[in-house]
Structure 1
Amino acid sequence: MKSRLSFMILMAVVLMGGIAWADAPTGGDAEASADSIPFDPFDSPSGNSYGDQDLMLQAVADPIAGFNRAMFVFNDKLYFWVLKPVASGYRVVVPTPVRVSVKDFFFNLLAPVRFVNCLFQGKWRSAEGEFCRFVVNSTAGCLGFFNLVRDKPQFNPPEEDFGQTLGYYAVGNGFYIIWPLFGPSTLRDTVGSIGDWALNPVSFMQLVNVDAGELTSGTTNVIAYGVRTINETSFRIGDYETLKNASLDPYEAFRNAYIQNRLSKIAQ
């Protein structure tokens, strides 16, 4: 019973990796309000790439803004009440070199996701770079705990995921949505996350459940994502707070930051 209770608490803590922060946009805020754009699921952008002007003006429909704002508040409370305290304590206890190695390990573990999406987009040089980095770090780098090619640009192509692949083939964002625990997304990126999950090696790992005497991959996923989320957050404590405190409307600021960041990734 105690182990099951601990598992439920751990799940609540660790599945909110997306709420900790959003990458800062490379450009200014969108001039048009996303709330004013008619709802059009998977509206197709023009072409497979976005120019600088498109990054500034592209906005995404937000037909469920009421739900999204409620989820933003929910995730915000979870961050300040749970994730930040845990990550802060973790940062105090675990030395920086160890945390860097843990980060490198998970980054290397997710190489199949990036590699396959590079292939899907026909980015052969990027796929080659991902493959070579994975081989080097998985062998000489001790299963990825050491990134031996960190300073070699040819082995560090832009990261790709299935949401970006869909965008590359002119699939539009659809509409903006904030998932409880998981954070900001769009209809396209939500569908893409399912494809990334299927390519994630952790999804195929299993851990013996001592109490039930059976195998369960769910426990493995929770533990893996929990460690990764806490470790990643330990490097970024303060970033979320800075952007939030600098915004008149934090909800709109994080929405614009998320959309512009995703557009810039697709354009790479």
Structure 2
Amino acid sequence: MLKRVNKSPFTAVAGSEKPSVIACMNRNPALAWMFLWCLSAALMLGFLPRMAMAGSLSSYDLALADAQSKQEPEEDYYEDEMIEDVSDPLEPFNRAMFVFNDKLYFWVLKPVARVYNEILPEPLRLSFKNFFLNLLTPVRAVNCLLQGKPDAFATELGRFVINTTMGVYGFGDAASVCFDIRRKDEDLGQTLGVYGAGPGVYICWPVFGPSNIRDTIGMVGDGFLNPLYFWPQESAYRIGISGFKVVNGTSLELGEYESIKKAAIDPYVAVRDGYQQYRKNKIKE
């Protein structure tokens, strides 16, 4: 039984019009996106901004924070948790891809995200982020099961039901705000690590960024659980939606990568080691 936290009440959306809306959305994808945008803008004026703010810190945010913390010479950190050496035989290639991604960020992604920032207010952008996080529930839920975590699986299932209904198709994180039910970030890379698979060599992929052999395999496997993979339209739609997701996420993280570059003697090493340590900690959870 869910225990409700003492927060402001939220009203569930009536479902009397749902079948006709879904039918129209299936017939016309453009109309579907227009509907979602208008719905989000309207809800932004009400209760949705508070739900959007809940649980907005992504795994990439945490990885960046971990990388940045490694630039701070804290004595206790080095005594208690020494960073393992990262296997990086592909360093020349990885550094080239790091430079490519760096230029892609500063020359393309950041300017686009800044314009996007000026157009949409933060609560609405957080709502879109919540929508995509809710959409990826199958990835987290299945990996919770694979890791033998039935409670975490039930949590993800419960969050999906609550956020899809009370959170209005996942645009609001009602599960966190109303019931204090937090997201369980699990993926196939972590699942492989739980069963003893080592990270393998470090790889910096163009566009995708830092990874390793294990997490690359996991990323491919998780892709088959991503609902966007089964989008019934042409691949151009999936690419467009994925691009929108990246721009929206970047707009909420502007300045974080810049802080790492400014604090690090070698930004490539800072990101590489930060990613390695972050993934190791996630597997231990």
TM-score computed with the length of structure 1 as normaliser: 0.77
Identical positions, percent: 48
Q: CA deviation at 1:206?
A: 2.5
| Contact 2:143/2:187, CA 8 A, preserved across alignment | yes
Q: Which residue of 1 aligns with 2:137?
A: 111
Q: Which residue of 2 aligns with 1:160?
A: 186
* 1:266 partner amino acid: I
1:265 equivalent to 2:277? Answer no
Residue 185 of structure 1 aligns to a residue whose secondary structure is: strand
| Contact 2:83/2:273, CA 8 A, preserved across alignment | no
Residue 178 of structure 1 aligns to a residue whose secondary structure is: strand
1:133 and 1:224 map into 2 onto residues whose CA distance is 23
Structure 1 regions of 5+ residues with no counterpart? 1-17, 30-51, 208-215
Select which of 125, 137, 147 maps to 2:151: 125
Select which of 61, 84, 92 maps to 1:66: 92
Where is the helix percentage greater, Structure 1 or Structure 2?
A: 2
* 1:177 partner amino acid: I
Residue 98 of structure 2 aligns to a residue whose secondary structure is: helix
1:98 equivalent to 2:124? Answer yes
Q: CA deviation at 1:153?
A: 7.4
Select which of 160, 164, 171 maps to 1:134: 160
1:239 and 1:153 map into 2 onto residues whose CA distance is 30
Say how many residue pairs are matched.
220
Matches within 5 A, 1:37-56: 56=82
| Contact 1:110/1:200, CA 8 A, preserved across alignment | yes
Q: Which residue of 1 aligns with 2:237?
A: 220
1:178 and 1:54 map into 2 onto residues whose CA distance is 28
RMSD, aligned CA? 2.3
2:105 and 2:129 map into 1 onto residues whose CA distance is 20
1:117 and 1:202 map into 2 onto residues whose CA distance is 18
Q: CA deviation at 1:225?
A: 1.1
Q: CA deviation at 1:58?
A: 2.3
Structure 2 regions of 5+ residues with no counterpart? 1-58, 72-77
Residue 175 of structure 2 aligns to a residue whose secondary structure is: coil
| Contact 2:70/2:270, CA 8 A, preserved across alignment | no
Note the alpha carbon deviations across 1:100-120, whole angstroms, 9 max, x for none. 110110010000000000000
* 2:65 partner amino acid: A
| Contact 2:83/2:277, CA 8 A, preserved across alignment | no
* 1:25 partner amino acid: D
Select which of 230, 233, 258 maps to 2:250: 233
TM-score computed with the length of structure 2 as normaliser: 0.72
2:283 and 2:156 map into 1 onto residues whose CA distance is 17
Q: CA deviation at 1:55?
A: 5.4
Q: CA deviation at 1:57?
A: 3.2
Q: CA deviation at 1:53?
A: 7.9
1:204 equivalent to 2:245? Answer no
Note the alpha carbon deviations across 1:119-154, whole angstroms, 9 max, x for none. 000111111110000011112221101111224676
